[in-house]
Structures are given as structure tokens and as C-alpha cells.
Structure 1
């Protein structure tokens, strides 16, 4: 089919498909070069080549070269470094689903789009078969460390913030409590995994400990940065940080594990905020009952 035979709306759809294929080819090629697993590398390279072939097919209709979105390419590459290739591939898979739907619509007017729609579906199947990333084997360990740190540290910091009324004192308390809890949690996880016969118990405990320690650092940071008298501001920032961590981590899980985002986010947010509120009340009561004048 020639470009002159297409309506403006259909031509725009072809242009978008061409851009998507060019961007997909670039990203797949990038991931293939970084992937160490030979089978994964081979599949990614093949998929990139097919995307390139599709882009050339669309070019025969548009008669023009298209420019990929530079920021989008950069952003996807950055995500692959931060979250791993599974996260990026899952995002790509969602794009493939949209691409397949778009091709099915175009197939009514352009016959060759039907063939490409079938290939897009094969892409999706190949993607899910190849996903095998080490960090995903330890998501449970990371969830354990993250959840425990959020609940324990949010409660502890909320409880002492207005009792001590000093950001530096609160930070010191949080750091001591957090480091002790990190070591305790990592050791407990190691012993539990060893008891279950897990050969990678040490690595699992490291993931738990790192997740816990990072959470501790983020929650204590506002108290370290703000002046001593701005403890109330630090407390609000800490609560906002808790919500952000929960939002961020649950979005990651919703993508790589195909788990429901809103339900998990709601559960973690309600639990953490409830513990913070209860601990806050306990801290105020303890301050008054013990006659502490901070």
C-alpha cells in the first residue's frame, strides 16, 4: 500500500508504529549487549532484529526515516541499570501488547500488519520465557527487610520525635536502633534460611539487611539535615518518605511480579501509618507520665 492511499489518521498510526519499532530495536540491542546469559542474549538480539525489520517495512509506506525519542531511550537504559532488565522487559512487554492491538486495527486496512501482529504476540511469549534475574529470587528477602524497617523505624522515630524534641537526638536514636535492628534482622533471616536448607542463605540475609539499612538511612536523613528545633518538620518529611518508599517499591513489584499495585500499597501504607500514629501517642504519653521536659 502506498502512502497516498492512507488517510491522515491511518498514516499517523503507521508513523507511531515505525517509531515504536525503531525504539524497541535500540533498547533490545542495548539489553542484549549487557546480558550475560547466552540464551537471553540470543533472544534479545533476535527480537531487536525483528523490530528493525518491522521498522523498515513501515518505512516503505511512509517513505521517511523517523527519529526515536532520545529521552525515552535514555530513561529505559537508566531503568535497566537501576531496576534490572526484568523491569524494562516487562515495560516493553506492555508496549508489545499495545503494539499488537494497534497492528490488529491496521490489519483491516494494511494486510502486512496482520503478520507483524502475530510476530508481536510471539515477542511477548519469548519475553516471559526468558525472564530470569537473580535479584528477583530474593524479592521475598527484600520485602522482609523493607516491611520490617518501615514498621519498626517509623514507629520508633514517631515515638521519640516529640518526646525528645530535638532532631539530632532523634537521629542518634534512629541510627542506633536501625543498625542494631539491621544486624538482628539479617542474622535472623540467615538462621531461618539455613534451617530451611537454603544454600544461598547468606545472600538472602544480605538482601534483607541491605533493604533494611537503606530504609533506615532514608528515614533518619531528614533529622540529620534539619536544625535541632525543626523536629516537627523532619517528622512530616519522614512520613512523606515512608509513603514514597512504599509507593516506589510496590510499583516495582507490580511490574516485575505482576502483583496488584493499589492493594499492596494500601496495606503497607495503612500499617506503617497506623504504627506511626500509635507510637506517636505512646511517645507523648510517656513524656508526660515520666515528667520529661524537652
Structure 2
């Protein structure tokens, strides 16, 4: 019971905060359609907050007006300025998805402690959150936000990989920091090109696979509808659908003819050139932070702690930003990203010391 009420208090705070956030976004958004939608979402979130308020009051819990998370609001505003409305839509979608999952778990776990009226209202809340998620997903399509993933992953890889490289080299070239820095830049440029080419090939290959599948399904529907129906059934069964349900579903879907092709192999709008550029440039940005101290410090030993500090700080900032906007625990996300990055650097340093001890590289 105590855990149930604790979660309800958190849900009330989250819904209240989201209502205020959407209201503020509506006042600063220039796009008329998005502005009106933010205002509508604010009103719906306010209704959700009222549900949790009444839920707690009915159980004798004193409900205080929650404090607004100013960091959350500031992060949204910064993202809006730097990356545009698409980035905001992308990350708010993550938050709505998280809310749906939390509410569904709450409904499943505590359904025996809720009245029938509360169950129905909570179901309405979940449906509203699903609708919000759908809105943000549709909004993303206008702003090419599929590349936000490329941006985050590219920078993270650049930080972690180059931090590991320069840390390992620091153990070998302790008195020549510029050599370490130049080596880091060379590795970084090579890594950036490799990551960009990898993203290009990955996106193009996925689109080609989907195009081939769409063409194959179109041919099947024209030549042998029964064979197409069997293929749909097999795919449903592979996805975990019971055979009997898959049989009936495949039969209904097959009646739609070629229209079902988009469902089986949707046509992606991700551009391989844009994906490659986002990934490669973000990787290079990640390279700057661990490499910079080696061009300024007198020795690699002096540069190393500053390199680690800079890279660790940027990793923590990225982790915090993602956590705040997606509803993930800030502490656990920072620990995850920083410890894995610095752990890789530590192992690289040990490996560098091993190479120096075995081959005496610094004397070559």
C-alpha cells in the first residue's frame, strides 16, 4: 500500500509538471499548429494531475502543490534553441512512452486495490498518453529527428574511444603530450570516417532490404494471394502470435491486398547521407574534449587527469540531458555512461603500461 501511494504521489507531480511545461512551450512556440497542440496537451495533463490528486485525497493523503523541475524546463528550452522543435518532439515522445509503461504496470499490479471507476479513469489516462506519444511521433517526421540517435551515439563513441586511445598512449609517451594529442586526432578522424561510412551503409542497406521485401510481397499478392497469406501468417507466428490467431489475422490482412505491404515493410524516410554526416561530425565533436589537454599541458601525465575530467563531464552532461527528458533515473544513467567510459580508459591505460613494459616503446 505504501509503495502504491508513493508512486501515485510521483505520478501527480509528473503530470502537474508536464502540464506547466506544455503551457510554457505553447507560449513560446512559433508554429501555430504545434502551439495549439501543446496547449491542448497541457489541459489534458492538468486533468491527469487532478485524477491523481483526487486518488490521493480519497485515501486520506495530504497533497501539496509540487515544485516544478526547473532543470527539466531549462533543458527543453536549450534543446529547442540548439536543435529545433524536432529534437524536443523526439525526447518528449520518450517521456510519454515511459509514462505509458509506468501506468500500465501500476494498473496491472494494483488493480485489486483500485475501484472500478478508478480503473476506468486510469485506462483513459493511458489512452491519452498513447495519443500524446503518437502526436510527438508524427511531429518528428517533419524535422528529421531520426538523426538525434546518430548525434548522441556518434558523440558518445568519439568521447569513449578517443579517451581510451589517448589514455593508453599517455602510459607510453609520458613526456611528449603533443604526440599523444596528434595521435588522438588521427585516430579520431579515422574513427569519424569509419562511423560515418558505417551509418551510410547501414541506413542504405536497411532501405534496400525493405524495398526488396516490398517488391517481393507485391509480386506475391498479384501472382499468389494464398502464398502471401501464408507468409503473413509465418511472420506473425515468428513474432509470438498464437497460430490460431495468426491464421485469422493473416486472412483478414490478406484481404487488404497490396495495402498490407507498408505494414510488413514500411518505407523509411531516413536519409543515409544525413545520417552519415550527423554521426561523423558528432564523433569529431566527441574527439575534441579528451584530446585538447594534450596540446596545452607540458607532459602527458599532467594532461591525463584534465582529459579524463573533460570527457567525464561531457558524458555526465549528455547522460543528464537524456535522463531528464526521457524519465530515466539521472543518477543511474550518469553512473552507467561515466563508469563505462572511464572504465574503458583505465583498461587502455593498463594496456599501454603493459606494452611499454614489454616493448619499451618510449625508447624506440
Shorter-chain TM range is 0.5 to 0.7
**Is 1:186 paired with 2:196?**
yes
Q: Which residue of 2 aligns with 1:215?
A: 286
**Is 1:145 paired with 2:154?**
yes
Structure 1 unmatched ranges of 5 or more? 1-10
**Could you tell me whether the CA contact under 8 Å between 1:28 and 1:44 is conserved in 2?**
yes
- Over 3 Å counting, the alpha-carbon distance change for 1:211 and 1:257 in structure 2 is farther
Structure 2 unmatched ranges of 5 or more? 80-86, 209-268
Distance 2:30 2:111 in 1: 32
Q: Counterpart of 1:125 in 2: which secondary structure?
A: helix
The structure 2 residue matched to 1:52, chosen from 18, 22, 46, is: 46
Q: Which residue of 2 aligns with 1:174?
A: 184
Per the TM alignment, residue 248 of structure 1 is displaced from its structure 2 partner at its CA by 6.2
Distance 2:65 2:324 in 1: 31
Distance 2:50 2:339 in 1: 48
- Over 3 Å counting, the alpha-carbon distance change for 1:189 and 1:51 in structure 2 is closer
Q: Which residue of 1 aligns with 2:298?
A: 228
Q: Counterpart of 1:163 in 2: which secondary structure?
A: coil
**Is 1:25 paired with 2:23?**
no
**Could you tell me whether the CA contact under 8 Å between 2:156 and 2:286 is conserved in 1?**
no
Distance 2:312 2:287 in 1: 14
**Could you tell me whether the CA contact under 8 Å between 1:150 and 1:272 is conserved in 2?**
no
The structure 2 residue matched to 1:77, chosen from 73, 77, 80, is: 73
Greater RCO structure (CA 8 Å; 6+ sep): 2
User: How many equivalent pairs are there?
Assistant: 272
Q: Which TM-score applies when normalising by structure 2? A: 0.53
Distance 1:97 1:192 in 2: 30
Structure 1 vs Structure 2 CA RMSD: 5.2
Distance 1:104 1:268 in 2: 39
Q: Which TM-score applies when normalising by structure 1? A: 0.62
Q: Counterpart of 2:363 in 1: which secondary structure?
A: coil
After superposition, the C-alpha distances for 1:106-128 in whole angstroms (9 at most, x for unaligned) are: 965xx975564333222222233
Per the TM alignment, residue 26 of structure 1 is displaced from its structure 2 partner at its CA by 1.4
* Map 1:1-294 → 2, pairs under 5 A: 20-32=14-26, 34=29, 38=33, 44-53=38-47, 69-70=67-68, 72=69, 74-80=70-76, 81-82=78-79, 84-91=88-95, 94=98, 101=106, 116-132=121-137, 133=140, 134=143, 136-138=145-147, 141-142=150-151, 145-146=154-155, 148-150=157-159, 152-165=161-174, 166-183=176-193, 185-187=195-197, 189-190=199-200, 193=203, 200-224=271-295, 227-229=297-299, 231-239=300-308, 252=322, 269=341, 272-273=344-345, 276-277=348-349, 279-281=351-353, 284-285=356-357, 288-289=360-361, 291=363
Distance 1:94 1:145 in 2: 24
- Over 3 Å counting, the alpha-carbon distance change for 1:213 and 1:12 in structure 2 is closer
Distance 2:150 2:11 in 1: 40
